[in-house]
Chains A and B, each alone.
Chain A
Amino acid sequence: MADRVSVRALKRGEASEWSKFVGDIGPKIVGYAHRMGSRDPDEVMGATLEAVARRIGEFEGGAGDLRSFVFSIAHARIVDDLRRNTRRSEVSIENTLDLLEADEPNDETFSDPDLLAALERLPEEQHRMLELRYVVGLSTRETAKAIGKSEVATRVALSRAFAKLKDLLSEELRAESSEAEVAS
Chain B
Amino acid sequence: MIWPSDRRLALRLADLRATEVAFDVDQDLVARLRSLAIASSADPTLVKGRWKRRVGAAIGAVGVFGWAGAAAAGASVGLVSTGSLPDPIQNVVADVLEVVNIEVPRPVSSVEIVPEPVEEVPVEETPPAEPPVIEPTPTTVIEPDQPEEEPVDEPVEEPIAPPTTTLPEESDEGDLDAEESPGRSEEAPGQTGATPGQSGTTPGQSGNTPAQGAEPPGQTGNTPGQSGNTPGQSGSAPGQSGNNGNSNGQGNGNSDNAPGQSDNNGNGNSDNAPGQTDNNGNGNSDNAPGQTDNNGNGNSQGNPNPGTPPEQSNGNGNGNGQSNSQSGNNGNGRGVAADEVDVTPPEAAPATEDTPASPNRGNNGNRGGQSGR
Contact = CB atoms under 8 A, between A and B. Distances in A.
Interface string B34-65: 11111111111000000000000000000000
Contacts of B10: 134
A112 B18 CA distance: 10
Contacts of B35: 13
A111 interface: yes
A28 to B, nearest CB: 6
B9 to A, nearest CB: 6
B33 A23 contact: no
Interface in A111-143: 111-112, 115-116, 130, 134-137
B37 A22 contact: no
A34 B23 CA distance: 14
A47 to B, nearest CB: 11
A149 interface: no
Contact of B29 (A30, A31, A49): A49
A15 interface: yes
A165 B38 contact: no
Interface residues of B, number: 35
Contact of A22 (B17, B33, B39): B33
Contacts of A165: 9
B12 A30 contact: no
Given A18-B33, A134-B13, A26 B38 contact: no
Contact of B9 (A15, A35, A166): A166
A52 B40 CA distance: 10
Contact of A169 (B9, B27, B30): B9
A23 B25 contact: yes
B110 interface: no
Interface in A10-25: 10-15, 18-19, 22-23
A54 B38 CA distance: 9
A111 B41 contact: no
A31 B37 contact: no
A49 B30 CA distance: 9
A109 interface: yes
Q: Which among B14, B22, B23, B37 has the highest number of chain A CB atoms within 10 Å?
A: B37
Contacts of A110: 19
B40 A30 contact: no
B152 interface: no
Contacts of A19: 25, 27, 30
A52 B20 CA distance: 21
A36 to B, nearest CB: 12
Contacts of B27: 19
Given A56-B37, A57-B40, A112 B15 contact: yes
Nearest to B35: A13
Contacts of A62: none
B33 A31 contact: no
A109 B19 contact: yes
A50 interface: yes
Interface string A1-14: 00000000011111
Nearest to A28: B20
A11 B5 contact: no
A134 B21 contact: no
A115 B36 contact: no
B30 A56 contact: no
Contact of B25 (A26, A30, A46): A26
Contact of A57 (B19, B22, B34, B43): B43
A109 B21 contact: yes
B37 A11 contact: yes
B99 interface: no
B108 interface: no
Nearest to A17: B34
A50 B43 CA distance: 17
Contacts of A56: 36-37, 40-41
A73 to B, nearest CB: 13
Nearest to A108: B19
Contacts of A55: 40
Contact of A18 (B18, B19, B30): B30
Nearest to A46: B29
A165 B23 CA distance: 30
16 contacts: A10-B37, A12-B37, A12-B41, A18-B34, A19-B25, A31-B16, A31-B21, A35-B19, A56-B41, A57-B43, A111-B16, A112-B15, A134-B14, A137-B17, A165-B9, A169-B9
Given A22-B26, A112-B12, A169-B9, 6 more contacts: A49-B29, A56-B40, A115-B12, A135-B17, A136-B17, A137-B14
Interface of A: 10-15, 18-19, 22-23, 26-28, 30-31, 34-35, 46, 49-50, 52-58, 109-112, 115-116, 130, 134-137, 162, 165-166, 169
